[in-house]
Structures are given as structure tokens and as C-alpha cells.
Amino acid sequence: MALESGERGMILCLRFQLGETHEAALPELVALAENISPVVQALPPDALLVDVRGAVRYFGLDAAGLGSVLRVRALAHFGIGCSIGVAANPMLARMAARAAAPGTTLVVGDAAEFLAGRPVIALDGVGPSTARTLCSYGLDTIGKAAAAPLAALQRILGARAGRELHERAQGIDRTPVTPDAVSRSLAAERRFDRDELDRDRQRRALLSLAEELGVRLRGEDQVCRSLTLTVRYADRTTTTRTRTLREPTAHSAALIEAAYRIHESLGLQRARVRALALRAEDLIPAERAAHQLTFDEADERARTIEAVADRARAKFGPGAVKPGTLAA
């Protein structure tokens, strides 16, 4: 793929090695990257994209050099390492970061050479089902898909999907890096003193996490449109589930209910849980969110009490008011 002058390798993708004590660090890492470039997009749970086209001249470094600066700062400030991909567009940068060894930087020069021998499932937008279909036609690598006629791909996958695959296989990605607000997502986490099997203790931790996120969201006049729960187990594996909320909210009761539903859906009866992390995502200003009016007096009373509790926390500190379950 021919790259326009000035656009070669100007997108960074940083994938951080977020251990169990750093699961909520992504917003802080976004802020760190914004000291280099204002064009930063979070890729929860552990990565971000940085468009450095406006920063290379200011700092007198190329994109890989700026990536090294960010790696050193992440290690110095948070003790977090990362792998870095450098490419001309977000898709290639993400793929390079996935392919880079921890603590190293992989720069994509020739997109066709970088993509050619990789399995077709490594391409963005190609899932297991699509990959099986392509492999049944002998298109098991990205290079073979790139060499296939557009019409053939459209017959196999359909007009739109075939066209998108044809462009991606050529290394073309037209999506920009979309700058996030510093608090595009908010996260909180709890690590248990020992591997926890007790469902009630896990729910108590979820209650604490959702309450914390609710207070922080309301303090910043923001609401979230989705909630993500990450469960880390004793063997260091994780499960992540996201649920879209019925309406954008910062209401603690709604966040708690959603967190409980996600937790129940995982069926963790015998799982040894080491840590839980809850992340409020797709944040928007509260003034832009519509709230469905109801005649539920209990809901209105809960929101009134919540507002009073927030004022008490602002005056006396975050621990001044907490749910009775957590006061025990």
C-alpha cells in the first residue's frame, strides 16, 4: 500500500501489561499520553491509540521515539510496561502492537509485507465464522485475501462485507483516531485478600464498586451508557462482560442492578475469584442524557437521598455516607 508523505507510521498503539493491581489505570494512562498528543483514543481494557502527526515536529522525535518516551513514562509513573505498534493507520497499529513482544516496538513499513503471511482471522472484522468461510475457499491468509478479486470476495461474503475485507486486506483503514475525554471511561477495582468463592462477598464488592463509580460520575456531571465487569481468577485468567444500560445513568442503584445482572450471568458458583473490576463506559455529559420519567415514588426518593448523600460526601469526605451493607 502506498502511503502519503507525512502519514507513514504516525499512529501508535500501546498495549499495556495491566496486572491485577493496575486494572483501573487506563484513564490515567490516557492522561499521560495526552501530554504527548491531544489525539488519544482509549481501547479498553488495556490499550490506547495515539495520533502523533502533530507531535513529531514539536518533540523532534519520530513516532517510534515518541512511543519509547511514553513507555518510559508509564514505567516511571505507574510501573506498567507495554508493547507498541507503529503504523500508518489504527488497524495496522493495533495488529503491530498485538504482534510485538512485551517491552518492544514493532514498526510497520510495508503494509503488504507485514500482512501477507498472517492468518486471515488476524484481520480486524474477521471472526471465526467468517474465517472458516474464507478458508473453505482457500483464502486462509491475508495475502491471499488481498490478491482475490473484489467481486469474488463480495460473492462469498456479501457486497459490504466483501468490500470492507478487500480494503483491510490491502492495509487500508479509513477510521480516524477519535480523541477521548480524560474520563471517557471510569474504572474501579477490588482485590480480595484471598481467592474468594463466596458469592455474597463478591456481590458486596460489586456494591462497593458500583457505588464508587456512581459517586464519581455524578461528581463529574457525567453518565455512562454501558458497564463492563472484569473478573480475575486464581489462575490469573480473566472474564470480561459488557452490558448496555437501559438509559444513560449515574444513578448508583441502576449501576448496582446492572453489575449484579452481569455477575449472575457468569455463573461463578465454584470459581476462585481474586479480583473484580467495574468500568463505566461511553460517558457523556449528564445534560445530554434523557431520563425516562416515572411515577415511582421510591425511585424519586432514592434519587433525592442520593443527592443529599453526595452533598455530605463533598463536605465531609467520600467515606461520610455509604450503604448500610458496607458499613458493617
Q: What is the mean pLDDT of residues 123-143?
A: 89
Q: Which carries the bigger pLDDT value, residue 152 or residue 314?
A: 152
pTM greater than the 0.85 cutoff: no
Which residue carries 452533598 as its cell? Answer: 311
The confidence band for 12, taking pLDDT boundaries of 50, 70 and 90, is: very high
Alpha-carbon distance of 163 to 228, in angstroms, equals 32
- pLDDT reading at 270 higher than 60: yes
Q: What is the mean pLDDT of residues 279-289?
A: 81
Q: What's the pLDDT at 299? A: 59
SS3 229: strand
Q: Which of 100-109, 135-144, 167-176, 318-327 has the lowest mean pLDDT?
A: 318-327
The answer to whether residues 178 and 51 touch, using CB atoms and an 8 Å cutoff, is no
Q: How many CB atoms lie within 10 A of CB 29?
A: 25
Q: What's the pLDDT at 184? A: 64
The confidence band for 183, taking pLDDT boundaries of 50, 70 and 90, is: very low
Q: Which of 19, 203, 40, 222 is nearest to 102 (CA)?
A: 19
The confidence band for 31, taking pLDDT boundaries of 50, 70 and 90, is: confident
Q: What's the pLDDT at 58? A: 87
Alpha-carbon distance of 182 to 251, in angstroms, equals 21
Task: Indicate the residue type of 155.
Answer: R
Q: What's the pLDDT at 71? A: 95
Q: What is the mean pLDDT of residues 310-319?
A: 63
The confidence band for 289, taking pLDDT boundaries of 50, 70 and 90, is: low
Domains of the chain as residue ranges with CATH: 11-110 (3.30.70.270), 112-169 (1.10.150.20), 186-291 (3.30.1490.100)
Q: Which of 216, 185, 214 is nearest to 282 (CA)?
A: 185
- Which ranges constitute the DSSP H helices of the chain? 26-33, 56-59, 63-78, 90-99, 111-116, 128-136, 142-147, 150-157, 159-169, 199-219, 252-266, 297-316, 324-327
The answer to whether residues 108 and 173 touch, using CB atoms and an 8 Å cutoff, is no
pLDDT digit string, tens, across residues 229-268: 999 888 878 888 888 888 899 898 999 999 999 999 988 8
What does the CA dihedral 112, 147, 13, 262 come to, rounded to 10 degrees? -160
Alpha-carbon distance of 201 to 64, in angstroms, equals 45
Alpha-carbon distance of 129 to 232, in angstroms, equals 28
The confidence band for 57, taking pLDDT boundaries of 50, 70 and 90, is: confident
Q: Which carries the bigger pLDDT value, residue 145 or residue 323?
A: 145
- pLDDT reading at 4 higher than 70: no
Q: What's the pLDDT at 42? A: 84
Q: Which of 315, 314, 245 is nearest to 280 (CA)?
A: 245
- pLDDT reading at 3 higher than 50: no
